[in-house]
Structure 1
């Protein structure tokens, strides 16, 4: 969802450092990258342990959740071309599912505000599968089962290298969508993915996603 369907990765890269800086703590330069594959609660636990925060994990998570919730409810937008593509796929009878590291209640708000929730038959989250995309393909496997599909007829759209690696290792076809948050990973992403697009507008021009 984040970085693939939605222009939202910046909020996740900024939220941890901002929270620490507000406490007078200087975050590590790579903190945003470390938090990238984590759920919000995992990120809260990491920040508490790594930076010795006095609050409970629940309290740190609540602060993160509040900032993300406001962004998702009021600001988040779909990436250019997303609405057009989803509408066309839905009209063609293609079943679609969201597989996201973002907690369900936040993801639902984000998809609703972006105006694309009705395009999907449902969503599954990393918290619900008990494993992140960096360590397990279960989130993709579960979405595929709910779509009553198989790997031959399923294409996963992703923007993050760790997620693409996991999906490819599990035998899925992957369409990589460029996001600025993964700029440094583009060479490897291009090499791994079955399809690569700089934008959803570019995808409309492609003939190979059959």
Structure 2
């Protein structure tokens, strides 16, 4: 093992529940009580559709554009002030760094929020570079972001692990030739059995570094 590429949301940061509550928190700021299960209602919608739903459902005076901006600010504030790493993450990254592994971030979230969260949580110094899907121009249904991170790290692909909690992203990395470490997250619990099957190693949490390292050290053999 020479390097590692880490997803952020649901992998390093315990942030996926935020997406269930962003609309609710925004409405609370406006003095409205959200209906039960609002996050599940909004999840399949685009930002514009979600804004229109909230405007009509809660008789908001704001335009759709103002609602989208308000929800985005709610999300941004959460990253800047509240989100926490998953248990054991900092110790896990320290173990990798002590063994001279180079690391990068590959995320679907925006650079501003990710950098703010990683800096506040003391994790940013572990990473050589941060790559975002927006800047790369492709989502994680394509391997572009992993290939860009690999090029930056300068490591061999078969010795560079991709850490992901989302099944579709793990499948993409695996098909591209990377060894994959699946990471448990409650938000994607229904995908976990399939994620285990796809992954070369599966982490229930970040406290089992010795077991992971034994597997990872032989990945390039």
Answer whether contact 1:76 1:113 (CA < 8 A) is retained: no
1:11 aligns with 2:18: yes
**How big is each residue's C-alpha offset from its partner over 1:133-192, in whole Å with a ceiling of 9 and x where there is no partner?**
1x2111111111111123212100011112112111222111011011111111110111
1:173 aligns with 2:187: no
Structure 1 runs (4+) greater than 4 angstroms displaced: 16-28, 48-54
Q: Name the SS of the counterpart of 1:175 in structure 2.
A: strand
Q: CA RMSD in A?
A: 2.6
Matching of residues 122-133 of structure 1 within 5 Å: 122-133=129-140
* 1:164 alignment partner, one of 170, 175, 178: 170
1:188 equivalent in alignment to 2:202: no
TM-score, reference length from structure 2: 0.79
Per-residue CA deviations over 1:15-45 (Å, capped at 9, x if unaligned) read: 246658959788584643x47xxxxxxx424
Q: Indicate how the Cα distance of structure 1 residues 45 and 146 shifts in structure 2: closer, same or farther if over 3 A, else same.
A: farther
CA distance in 2 between partners of 1:157 and 1:66 (Å): 28
What secondary structure does 2:71 align onto? Answer: helix
Of the candidates 101, 104, 108, which is equivalent to residue 111 of structure 2? 104
* Match of residue 136 from structure 1: 142
Aligned match of 1:38: none
Aligned to 2:157: 151
Aligned equivalents of 1:110, 1:11: Cα separation in 2: 13
SS across alignment from 2:188: helix
TM-score normalised per structure 1:
0.83
Distance 1:94 1:69, change over 3 A: same
Greater length-normalized contact order (CA 8 Å, ≥ 6 residues apart): 2
Deviates more, 1:99-108 or 1:135-144: 135-144
- The higher radius of gyration belongs to 2
How far residue 202 of structure 1 moved from its aligned partner, in angstroms, is: 2.2
Q: What is the alpha-carbon distance in structure 2 between the residues aligned to residue 46 and residue 161 of structure 1?
A: 26
- List runs of 5+ in structure 1 lacking aligned partners: 36-42
User: What's the counterpart of residue 95 of structure 2?
Assistant: 88
Aligned residue pair count: 200
Partner of 2:122: 115
Deviation sequence 1:68-127 (CA, Å, 0-9, x none): 222122211111111011112112211100111110011000101111011101101011
